[in-house]
Structure 1
Amino acid sequence: MTISTPHNGGGIRAGKVRTLVATLAIDAGRAVSLADLADELWGANPPDNVLNALQAHAARARKVINECACPDRAGGILRSVLGGYLLEIDPQCVDGNRFLRLASQGASLLPSDPARAVELLEAGLRLWRGPALIDAGEGRRCRGAVALFEERRLTVLEDLVSAMLLLGGEGQAIAMLQQLVARYPLRERFCELLMVALYRVGRQGDALESYRLARKRLDDELGVQPGALLRRRHAEILAQDPVLKVPSALWREPYSAADSSLLTA
């Protein structure tokens, strides 16, 4: 999820140029107005001559893109249009959009074909080469895209672990979930899945201990109690409820396919 030039492995170094390219890539195939670009690059403190500044940054971006990404394409892919600029590429050439599509496809196959879901979800995660839109600036569009990507990445990890459990890979899933719980201790879904996985391999005591630690963390850091679903899982484990062994225990509740909307929708 970095901003780089595809064929030389290097990045676009100038900060404003990176922000310009990132903003256009988020809306790949669609024009972004000069006003929106100015707001993304400078916010409430634009330069005296915004149009000239945008033209200068666009010229620098166009030079790098044309030299490194599409040297044989006449006119390049960064185009000036009436009232704005356009990155003239298929939205699926943007790795962020490919990630969202793979995430959606993997989630939709989770109930019926978990093996294929694993393939798709892992393919999506392999597109990550670092934090989303790193050094792309603090503008509204880029920050919104970062929030979307980061949340969807966590959801993909949840779906991936669920698929592993459906395929009988409890050992691998437990190891992965233990790392995720340590890294994201306030994300209840990871703890819930870990509790279910531990219970399924006969580690009821460890499952209950996971709940106790989650409850303590939530109380210490946020002053809240676990959510309704986590409390219900705790009660089911205490009661050794058979529902914990059925596939539906692994769905997000209510289960729904991941949001299939792309950034360019």
Structure 2
Amino acid sequence: MLAALAVDAGRPVPVEALIERVWGADPPEGARRALYAHICRIRRLGEEQDTGGRGRLPVLRRPGGYQLDLDPDAVDLRRFRRLVALARVSGQPRDRQAALLRESLALWRGEPLAGLRGAWPARVREAWRRRRVDAAVRLADLEVHSGDPAAVAQQLRDLLDEHPATESVAEALMHALYMAGDGAEALRCYAQLRHRLAEELGAEPGHGLRELHRRILLGRPPRGALYMPSASADPDTDARTGSVGQFLLAD
């Protein structure tokens, strides 16, 4: 229940949305009464425990719902989202964008909503995984031209191990490998991804990846920035928090 409130810290959440987040699309009889009991429990926990110097965790009644009256920056991925948005503001120096993205990615210390089951936590996890990948690819694109492309390539290898069929990661890795002078490894990366996509999805790599592959074969430098944000609906934000993590475990 605290997770369902924390993802929208500082904003009211309708009772119906809380019920769906906690019990799914087919809630049991008495779900509304159980919700009120959970709210009371969270209020007691907030009164009994300090939240890392940020004060208590008041749950406020709002028309039609409840609101966790907490600074959104106390929720790691709400802060992540804000930092990524700042990095996207046009006209900023590349080093400033990179610094903001590094700060945002440093907030990832585990899986969002770890241990929570159900459709809503799964949707949130997947949406925020995509956001993390987008930020990491964007950072790699910034760093490959201003730092050590071989080091960037190693970071991207690790990311591709986590997301082996994600084209944006493979494309960024190919770019970094080529810029590091290892075009042969970039071509092997393409071949491996193409095989995986064919085996698992019955699909071919997208246009951007095919074009990068063609340019590497011809020995031409990759064009411009590779980063393109995932086209995904704005998710219900996550509930991985630093200061309220102990309460999430309790509920």
What TM-score bracket applies, with the shorter chain setting the length?
0.7 to 0.9
Q: How does 1:17-28 map to 2 (within 5 A)?
A: 20-28=1-9
**Equivalent residue for 1:53, pick from 3, 16, 34:** 34
* Counterpart for residue 160 of structure 1: 139
Q: CA deviation at 1:144?
A: 3.4
* Counterpart for residue 112 of structure 2: 132
> Is residue 43 from structure 1 mapped to residue 53 from structure 2 by the alignment?
no
Q: CA deviation at 1:88?
A: 1.6
**Equivalent residue for 1:29, pick from 10, 17, 33:** 10
| Unaligned ranges ≥5, structure 2 | 238-251
**Equivalent residue for 1:103, pick from 54, 62, 84:** 84
Given that 1:41 and 1:139 are in contact with CA atoms closer than 8 Å, whether structure 2 keeps it comes out as: no
TM norm structure 2: 0.80
1:30-88 residue CA offsets vs partner (Å, 9 max, x unmatched): 22222222232223554443343222111111111232246999995112334322112
Q: How does 1:167-186 map to 2 (within 5 A)?
A: 167-186=146-165
> Is residue 211 from structure 1 mapped to residue 190 from structure 2 by the alignment?
yes
Partner Cα distance (1:137, 1:131) in 2: 13
> Is residue 252 from structure 1 mapped to residue 230 from structure 2 by the alignment?
no
Bigger relative contact order (CA 8 A; separation at least 6) = 2
Change (3 A) 1:196 1:37: closer
Change (3 A) 1:175 1:70: closer
> Is residue 195 from structure 1 mapped to residue 179 from structure 2 by the alignment?
no
Q: CA deviation at 1:143?
A: 3.8
* Counterpart for residue 114 of structure 1: 94
**Structure of greater Rg:** 1
Aligned length: 236
Percent identical: 33
1:67-121 residue CA offsets vs partner (Å, 9 max, x unmatched): 2246999995112334322112233332221101112222446x85232222211
* Counterpart for residue 48 of structure 2: 67
Partner Cα distance (1:45, 1:194) in 2: 43
Change (3 A) 1:129 1:76: closer
Given that 1:23 and 1:37 are in contact with CA atoms closer than 8 Å, whether structure 2 keeps it comes out as: yes
1:200-232 residue CA offsets vs partner (Å, 9 max, x unmatched): 232222222221222112112222111111110
SS class of match (2:61): strand
TM norm structure 1: 0.77
One-letter amino acid of the structure 2 residue matched with residue 120 of structure 1: L
